[in-house]
Structure 1
Amino acid sequence: MTGLVTIYGGSGFLGRYIARRLAYEGWRIRVAVRNPDEALFVRTYGVVGQVEPVQCNIRDEDSVRRVMEGADAVVNCVGILAEKGKNRFGAVQAEGAARVARLASELGVKRLVQISAIGADAGSDSAYARSKAEGEAAVQRHFPQAVILRPSILFGAEDGFFNRFAGMAQFSPVLPVVGAKTRFQPVFVDDVATAAQMAVEGRAKPGIYELGGPDVNSFRELMTYMLGEIRRRRLVLALPFWVGNLMGLAGGAVQTLTLGLVRAPITRDQVANLRRDNVVSPEAMSFADLGITPTSLEAVLPEYLWRFRPSGQYAAIKESARNLRKS
């Protein structure tokens, strides 16, 4: 059975994958975003009129209600990695999540999916992690039957992680890394979208799921693997946390002085987050409980990191030619 689903933040990295999957299954979709004109590409995910971007600010009660009216299911993908202007962690990830859940309950929405993050913790030193935990608590309070998904760091063609560091490696002989020993469990964005689809369709029991890929690697190991994929030799420089805090402090000052035109490369809150491993807890519900086999980095990264190689798309051809000459 399909119907109408509202996806808050549906044009973002994860949101667009969820929208595409649900459109393929025949759902009508409202993609609720602050700037609909920048999300027109989502219309191509379905037939004419099936997927429509609509204006909404998760901090505004009336707009959240307006785009939810008549929806059978709701997915909240809205989140921020750094604060800017009125978009504070508490306003977006705690109050915003609470607003969506409360209105979903009031309007009789059948299913609610909340996208959170591994590391959500009310007692964390990170405001980001605390706001995620506050959002989860509010969702469970207002909508007890909600499904909450906590992915580890997401990877995929449009990701802001591997693409960012691969771009840096094109021009810099050094890759500075804060928290080089911190462990991550990178998860393919479409696997998380599959989990969200199952939740929307009622094929996942309520509760919190922690979603990670098949492998656990340190930050340094991920950078080393990425450098191998883009065929570049670079020094991965491990920076202590105190240096990261100084960088965050200096970057924040520059960002404030330039009115946000120059963004800080790392914030002090992100440094606080990097002090803790970002992996699935042994006792948590996970992909296994959903019957999903997570995709490995090796199966996906070569498909989009090739553009950062010195020879781009021709790298494999040149490597093959060198091997022929040797033989």
Structure 2
Amino acid sequence: MQEAFTTVFGGTGFLGRAMVRELVEAGRPVRIAARRPNLPDWLEAGDRVEAVACDLRNEQQVAIALQGSVAVINAVSLYVERPRAGLTFKAIHVTGAGQLARLAREEGVTRLVHVSGIGTSDASPSAYVRARSAGERAVIDALPKAVILRPSVLFGPHDALLTALVRLARLPAIPLFGRGDTRLQPVHVDDVARAAVRLSDTRPLERRLFELGGPEVLRYRQIIAQVLAHLECRRPLLPVPFLAWRLAAALLAPLPSPPLTRDQVILMQQDTIVGEGVGTFDDLGIVPRTLHDSLPTCLAAG
């Protein structure tokens, strides 16, 4: 009898890799679906994991990846568009996500967890955020019982957030987005992965929308202060107007992989915290770890 897989689309990304590990530790057969698939180097004999090549834009590849799946997690994300390669926010977050949900329904998948992000809105000036919002609707239209999972800003070993702050700590002064007052609710990647695994189980859920943030709401400058304290170094914090950041992003936009984008600047102008009336870690029986307690492990890995 063929095994019933939990298929993780985007299973080679930062969050996807953590999800794969959580699924393996839970004893569930896992299929990794990615454009450039590879198996984790930590696998042991007996771990039931396979990898398939799959581009979310390719209907045939998605259909093949879904075969034999009982649950699906869509952790595919695109942060920088490359229109010439067909990699746009609409193609990945809207069209691709909706197609995956439709094909999952046709395959008879009983549970789909779609990873989005806190703050999705059709009214956002960010094309990335608007696409995320449209993508949620496309998924629900195709598969009404899908679960939408919106994490806050992720942190963990080899992440984007802490790695960038460590690099900034080498400068004589650390530039702030505005005055550094934006409120964030940083959440450990492993906690989000554990939540996704529980949500992809077959147990019935009362909620279909979950927002996941860590136990602390911190201003951006407070996060920097925690990292500096852990590194045992002092640096002045330099407020930089958002207009200057937008100009910098515009100048960097022609680069193949710009270190700063307009959408990232926009995201840093709005709070990213869990809203009201949504499912949270409490509903899943998960106690998320704090940024402060996680810094030794996270930064040691860098």
TM-score, scaled relative to structure 2: 0.93
Task: Report 1:7-156 matches (<5 A).
Answer: 7-36=8-37, 39-40=38-39, 42=40, 44-48=42-46, 50-84=48-82, 85-156=85-156
1:207 matched to which residue of 2?
208
Pair 1:5-2:3 in alignment: no
Structure 1 residue 48, shift from structure 2 partner: 4.8
* Alignment deviations for residues 53-107 of structure 1 (CA, whole Å, 9 cap, x no partner): 2101111111111111111111100012222242211111111110110100111
Structure 1 residue 204, shift from structure 2 partner: 6.1
Counterpart-to-counterpart distance in 2, 1:204 and 1:190: 23
Structure 1 residue 13, shift from structure 2 partner: 0.9
After superposition, the CA RMSD in angstroms is 1.7
Query: Which amino acid is 1:130 matched to?
Result: R
Counterpart-to-counterpart distance in 2, 1:122 and 1:114: 18
* Alignment deviations for residues 98-117 of structure 1 (CA, whole Å, 9 cap, x no partner): 01101001111111011110
Task: Report 1:157-176 matches (<5 A).
Answer: 157-170=157-170, 172-176=171-175
SS of the residue corresponding to residue 149 of structure 1 reads strand
> Unaligned 5+ residue runs, structure 1?
309-327
Structure 1 residue 155, shift from structure 2 partner: 0.8
Structure 1 residue 277, shift from structure 2 partner: 0.4
Q: Which has the higher helix share?
A: 1
> Unaligned 5+ residue runs, structure 2?
none
Counterpart-to-counterpart distance in 1, 2:225 and 2:17: 29
Task: Report 1:266-277 matches (<5 A).
Answer: 266-277=260-271
Counterpart-to-counterpart distance in 1, 2:26 and 2:277: 32
Counterpart-to-counterpart distance in 1, 2:126 and 2:100: 23
* More moved, 195-204 vs 26-35: 195-204
SS of the residue corresponding to residue 5 of structure 1 reads strand
1:185 matched to which residue of 2?
185
SS of the residue corresponding to residue 113 of structure 1 reads strand
Matched-pair contact (CA < 8 Å) for 1:6–1:29: yes
Structure 1 residue 142, shift from structure 2 partner: 1.1
* More moved, 288-297 vs 111-120: 288-297
| Larger Rg, first or second structure (1 or 2) | 1
Counterpart-to-counterpart distance in 1, 2:79 and 2:236: 26
Counterpart-to-counterpart distance in 1, 2:45 and 2:293: 30
1:288 matched to which residue of 2?
282
Structure 1 residue 158, shift from structure 2 partner: 2.2
Identity %: 39
* Alignment deviations for residues 6-36 of structure 1 (CA, whole Å, 9 cap, x no partner): 1000111111111111112222111011112
Query: Which amino acid is 1:169 matched to?
Result: A
Structure 1 residue 203, shift from structure 2 partner: 3.9
Length, aligned pairs only: 296
